[in-house]
Chains A and B, each alone.
Chain A
Amino acid sequence: MLFRRLVIISLLAGLVGGFVLSLSQQWQVLPIIFAAEEYESSKAEDVSSESASESHGDHDHGGDWSPEDGLERTLFTVLSNVLTAIGFSLVLVTLIAISSTYFNKEISTLSGLFWGLGGFIAVFASPSFGISPELPGVSGAALEFRQEWWISTVLLTSAGLFLAHIWKSYWRWPISCILLVAPHIYGAPHPENLYAGFPADVAEKLAMLSDQFLVATASSNLIFWVSLGIFSGWALKRFPLPRAV
């Protein structure tokens, strides 16, 4: 059954990708998040977000449950990484299967690598041009607007890359370009001041940390997407999709 095969391959790819991501985050990403949280205490209240709903001055949302720092927090981060990786691999594996089933595209470990790079561009690189990965405590525009812009950008970029891959007409180039560029011409929502509420010296340090955070998250995401793509390509070839379901 096609569905079962897609799900099993995605679960395996998600496990591999999730653990690779967790390992790569240990190196720089998580230490930078913890460093930013140290500064969060020096922030004035009520300026965290211009959210139309309630304002979350503190990221642990008052008295609600949150994992204890240390082992528990790490375990939940690994769990969320694996879940997210399974979600992304379900989408990636299915799109590879669609390109092979309907458009006769070749499946291989190498093509998987390119699919992984496509995923990195669509899900990380393109949205990060508009909204750089945020550190805890750093302000943003209203969360709803950022989420809408982020999701639209990921969908449009994915559609643009997918069309460029499967469509044979020369029209694919201008149309893909439009899809890739449109969210950036529209523009990402930004707050007036990213570091509102922080003393000037802390704001300066946070700005430096944010730059480091961009490089760190980009590296760990690149490693993640490349391993997810390579594993998906390999697994789809190793356990081929049935011609007839």
Chain B
Amino acid sequence: MSNTVTENTADVVQATPLLASKGLHLFCALALGATVLFAAGFAQSSSVHNAAHDMRHSQGFPCH
């Protein structure tokens, strides 16, 4: 019984730092936002450029 408790605690302690790190969650959300913005606003692939053309001009992204 006591062994079980000890093991569970150990699991929690090991699982905690990465998944419960607020910093990591916040960083990942920022990185996701930056990636989306890069794709929509700056990617130079011409199909992406043509699809997003009017948005890029409207938002003041340097376009051509």
Which residues of A line the B interface, CB within 8 A? 1-3, 6-7, 10, 21, 25, 29-30, 33, 48-49, 51, 56, 59-61, 64-67, 73, 76-77, 79-81, 83-84, 86-91, 93-95, 97-98, 101, 123-124, 127-128, 131-136, 140, 143, 146-147, 150-151, 217, 220-221, 244-245
Total residue contacts A-B, CB cutoff 8 A: 152
| Interface SS, B side | helix
Residues of B within 8 A of A245 (CB): 19-22, 25
Give the A-binding residues of B (Cβ under 8 A).
19-22, 25-26, 28-30, 32-37, 39-42, 46-47, 49-64
Q: A33-B54, A134-B63, A221-B59 given as contacts; is B47 within 8 A of A64 (CB)?
A: yes
A100 to B42, CA, bound (A): 31
Q: Report yes or no: B60 in contact with A94, Cβ–Cβ below 8 A.
A: no
The smallest beta-carbon distance between A104 and chain B, in angstroms, is 14
Q: Known: A10-B29, A87-B34. Contact between A77 and B47, CB under 8 A?
A: no
* A135 CB contact (under 8 Å) in B19, B42, B57: B57
Residue pair A77, B54 in contact (C-beta under 8 Å):
yes
Q: Which residue of A lies closest to B45 (CB)?
A: A64
How far does the Cβ of A239 sit from chain B's closest Cβ, in whole Å?
A: 15
